[in-house]
Structure 1
Amino acid sequence: MEQIKVLIVDDEYLIRNLIRKRINWEEQDMTIVGEASDAHEALNMVDTLRPDIVFTDICMPFIDGIEFSRMVTEKHPAIKIVIITGHDEFEFARRSIKLGIADFILKPIHAAELLNVTERLKKKIQEERTRKQEFEKLKEELRQSLPFLREKFLNRWILQRLSASEILEEQSFFNLPFTEGNLLRIAVLELSLTTPEQTQEQNLLLSMDGRKRVEAFFSGSPESVVFMDNKNQIVVITDVRGRDVAVDCELLKKDLIHSLKCFVCIGVGNRHSSLRDIPIGYREACRALNYKTFVGKNQVVCYEDVVESGEQQYRSNPELLEELHFYISAGAAEKAAAVLKEILRFPFSEVSQMRLAAMDIIAQCQNIEAEQKINGGDTLNKDTLAAVLLSDNLPDIQKKLEAHIAALSGSINAKNSTKAGYLIERVKDFLNKNLSSPDLSLVNTAAAFFVSPGHLGRLFKKATGQTFVEYLTDIRIKRAEILLKTTELKGYQVGDEVGIADPHYFCILFKKKTGKSVNEYRKGTKCNA
């Protein structure tokens, strides 16, 4: 941290010299950068030298120390001013505290008092410098983080219906070029490589290159904003005054195909005049983009062309779609079919709207197939899509979608059953190998297989018809029967071998399960032998 700069202002040379020599300024990590004999000279030096501390006499010709201090603090509020005053002037000087005077020194000047003042001021200045450095560091971090924060807000904006005040505040902070009342339109671009196999790295690089190209394309339009959404799609929000966004997108598509050698699909939402309707425009653009399934790759699809005008236009119901997703993932075909009917209960006015609803449902199925790693889903989806395209009435579309959901739910159930059966067999083997452990329980067995006790208990009941404890008790008693038949172990020793350390409890449990006491059972087996 640089040395603290000190300026001495006094019309008496002896006082200035006394202040200079009273203490070792270097040891205080301070340096005297100048001296002035009057306020006029001092004001010029303050502007030039920018001292941290000014020692000034209160009684000087032309301009006194109080007026001089006022002029300095008005222009340079960070400078610390120390008034040098005599006893007879002290009350007058103390009234100047409202000017922001940092401290006072009484004449005659003593080294101890001067040291106390400089120590206090040094500590205060260093604290202020540290705070300033931290503040500057935070400002720099904020500056570096600004693009990320801007992108984060834009993604929140397109997904949530924010309040008008929140939008205006964030818009001002991030300097977004939009005005309430002007027509805005959103385009969503999806880029994909032409090769069938694509790595995550290749897709990421393609998106980055594509974004740069899109930003360059719209660089001459200050009323446009380009960013990436959470699905790694490129989003453009633009003011439509004086431009045809659909035409722009056709030109942009050709440029991207030519320069990046990739497939390009662009969905364009309707025009909206309220900043709060941006999420609606984004959803429209995404739905138009999803229509690529019907129209093929390298297309620009406008929402207004997909959904013909009608009294009620279809809009996705996220809650119902999420509920559908849950029931299909759980393999609950009947409940999923009920939710499907609820989704398709919308009063459609056009076939295109029914197809949009069907696409929402098929998209959920595609997501589930990816999550559950279901093979063969592509063929199923293509067949269903083809059926939807060929159907011109809701009953046919609903029938095809119900069959689609039933098939997917069945695949998930089959997969889960196989997985559950394998787990139960492993657990049974684990129990047999650890049967002598008295600590064997549902909790520690579940922990050994990294599943929850509740889940394991339900699987056990479904697979064996018994609770976990019932099954464990049965195999322990069966093992005990074998030991009683084949060894000379005493009853309590048999109990230890099967994990029941309490002899009394073992005897009670054995008789309850077999109808005989341990001794009766052993005698019976010997008689039979």
Structure 2
Amino acid sequence: MGLYKLMIVDDEEEIRLGVIKKINWQEHGFVVVGDAENGQEALEMAEKLHPDVIMTDIKMPFMDGLELGKRIVDLMPSTKIIIFSGSDDLEYAHQAIKINVVEYVLKPINSIELIEVLKRLKDKLDKEYDDKRNMEILKKHYVESIPVIREQFLVGTLEGRITKEQWEENEKKLGLDLIDKYLSVALINLDTISKEQDDSLILISIKKIVDETIIGYCKFISFPYLDKIAILLSFNEKDNIMKAIKGLNEVCKVFESVFESTISVGIGRIYDNINEIRLSYRTAQSALDYRPILGNGKTIYIDDVEPDNTIQLQFDEQDEIHFLNSIKLSNEDNIREVVESVFKKMEESFVSLEKYRIYLMEVLTSILKLVQSYNIEINSVFGEEFNFYSHLEQFNSIEEIKKWFIEKSLILNEIIKKERVNSSKLLVEKAKEYIKNNYDDYELSVEKLCSKLHVSPTYFSTIFKKETDMNFVNYLTNIRLEEAVKLLNTTDEKTYIIASKVGYQEANYFSYVFKKKFGISPSRYRKN
């Protein structure tokens, strides 16, 4: 394991820098990746840096150490918290225990004592990571905790071989009687792995991380399936999918920290019938296909990226999935190659002319359903008064038909790409409009915004950053400060009134953010 990432938070710069300078961090297994002077700033920094450890003073302006600890435990439960305090008040200690603080250090900070704290913490972190890496222990855990018959039963459910009656008959004895009203399937894909590591044991490790991490977010059952980990998620309300996404993103972060490689998660559509789990599984696979666009190492929810339309496949399922995905996601060369493979299968089959026609109609039908799912005008792809069956009679060879399919596939590919770009721009414009109308809400957050837009925070953050070149927090801060400048220039209102009007509950924090942006306090700005 490399050096553990550590952040130091204290409103007194002298103490902060003193702690950083007086310790040889690398010698004890740590590297200081950032320091902050208040809890609010530390929280924003931690969301970017994902530290293993945060050392924080207990008393600070804007957000104290205990509140910071609570927020960190919620957002990054694997991060360890060390509290500094100038008081040995038992109430502080009790509150620290409630948020799982690993060490409580009294000020003034003694370097010898702090080094001992670091040694204990490194031993604790080493043990946690070693346990996750110990494949033999993980293998034993897997064999003992997941009976083979239960795993086969769940695989049968994904593949549509288990009826609702069979599920109800076996759920209690197999420990599957935790299902609520709504169900969804998530698939975890191993993006990269070194040749020295055993894929099957890595999957066991992923399963253990899932079981330990998302237990507080939703009901679930996890199990290996082919080369992935499948998770059957269950909720009382459909909106609870957002909590599951949050938990699965934490799984991705923990895995990357431990193994220094990435996993991605695809989440399928939500259904209320056990017989439809197979449909959720297929759409979870489709969600993973968007990794080339959205990137590895994150959770992708199918409703964020694709219209709600389950394509009913009529010819070879895997071939058709490959064909449709190439139209949705690939470049021209790949589309040509995939269409070639579709026709190669036909050319190698010696069947009647009528069967050739049926095969081509099945391929065309799948394209037409794709056109319909994106609400694309058929004429924009196929031209006016399109009738393929009569058009088929005009072709003189298979080669001409193949060229026709390539041409139409490329046209559809281009339209879908434009539609995706337009959808992203529309989403961002809606977000900007909402921020413009609600920047005065001091509780406005990316989670609150996404609940209004009905998208997951992970997907929104990726699209928003791509379209605006800044994250949500920075954009919101800029809007608030622009409005604050207008009010300072055009009114005589007190600074605390302006702070409240632009979404800051505390006037002191507003002044801090304003000065950080403009290099001058609001009151001095007005005088100048």
TM range (shorter): 0.3 to 0.5
Q: Which of structures 1 and 2 has the bigger CA Rg?
A: 1
Bigger relative contact order, structure 1 or 2, given CA contacts below 8 A and separation 6+?
Answer: 2
